[in-house]
Amino acid sequence: MIADLATVFAVSEARGGWLIVSYTAAAAICLPIVGALSDRLGRKPVMTAGLVLFGIAGAAVGVVSTFETALFMRALQGIGFACATPVILTLIGDLYSGTRETTVQGMRVSANSLMNAVAPLIGGLLFVYSWRTPFLLYFLTLPVALWVWQSVPEIQPQNDWSYREYFDNTLVALQQKAMVLLMISFALRFVLFYGLITYISVLAKQEAAMTVVAVGVLMSVRGIAKTAMSTQVGRLSVDYDTVLLTCVSFFFLSLGIVIMGAMPNVLMLTFGITVVGIADGVLSPAQKSIVNKFSSTGTRGGVMSTAVTMQNIGQVIGPIIFSVMMGFVGVSQTFLTLGASVGALGVVSVAGILYLGNPLDSKLS
């Protein structure tokens, strides 16, 4: 779609890529700030404003006439995304606890995975009619924002802290050993995940002679497995500790990538990507659940925003690390080596959390 939009705005495809960069850069810059705002001003105003900005700015891309204006609107949309996403994750922790909180996180991941699978198809069909039409879908966030404002209960901000006290308390929470390891695990997961989705097409084409359509089917298999498994993470959390689930699922995420690198034929690529989807279906909601359990209401927004920021860091450096290693050892060995090494670091970091326990428990004792 970037190539088509580059044609619409009469710019090169390379310059058209700035439509993605402007969005992600604006989101990355705002993420660390948004958590603090939600802790100080309340969840609902920040999330509602983010949803409204996301919807209006996204839809506006479809009506602008210049590329520069489109870039500006995409940047505003990125800010809206940053205001909404971490606050939604935090709000789940505010409203639910225990296995119910983990269940809701899983349902959120399932719905998100389903939308990621369906939205490109709908957008592509609408693009055939007019390049402007797909952007109108962003208006659908406006009734969601209205529902949030009218129906979601407000979590009162921690008003008795000064801003200095708030930042000091948030920093203390982030400096706990278990929390440091948790933040590292967020980055490591996205190093593996975005390295995988960036270069799986290269692996499949070079080693298994798979077509573009077949690679698309592979990614659909991953999405289906993740969507299905994330609906079950709440049930698993009834019998197993969330940190243990995170540790085991990180191991299987790594194993799936290793299998794909070690035996890159059609059958094993399909098996490996299915293992990855199942593992990530548990890992994604379980990690967010741990953040909510390990942070107090007064600092939860800031801590969750830090976790999402660590994901973004992993998202950026993951493809770079994969690319550099591919230049030395080839794509299959890269999947094998990084799947094993980065995965091992992830397992060790979460095992350390399991050993250290919840930092809030130590404060209470």
Q: What are the pLDDT digits (tens) for 36-88? A: 888 888 888 999 999 999 999 999 998 998 999 999 999 999 999 988 888 88
**Predicted local distance difference test score (pLDDT) of residue 54:** 95
Place of tokens 């500006």: 72
Measured CA to CA, the distance from residue 187 to residue 320 in angstroms comes to 14
pTM: 0.85
> Which tokens is 201 given?
């097409």
> Which tokens is 101 given?
């909180």
Q: Which residues of the chain form CATH 1.20.1250.20? A: 2-158, 166-364
> Which tokens is 278 given?
């199942």
Measured CA to CA, the distance from residue 145 to residue 150 in angstroms comes to 9
What is the rounded end-to-end Cα distance, in angstroms, of the chain? 55
**Predicted local distance difference test score (pLDDT) of residue 79:** 94
CATH pick for 2-158 out of 3.40.50.720, 2.60.120.10, 3.40.228.10, 1.20.1250.20: 1.20.1250.20
Cα 364 off chain centre by:
31
Which parts of the chain sit beneath pLDDT 50? 364-365
**Predicted local distance difference test score (pLDDT) of residue 120:** 64
**Predicted local distance difference test score (pLDDT) of residue 98:** 84
> Which tokens is 266 given?
């059609």
Q: Classify residue 46 by burial, with Cβ atoms within 10 Å: 0-12, 13-18, 19+.
A: buried
**Predicted local distance difference test score (pLDDT) of residue 142:** 94
**Superfamily of domain 166-364 in the CATH hierarchy:** MFS general substrate transporter like domains (1.20.1250.20)
**Predicted local distance difference test score (pLDDT) of residue 290:** 94
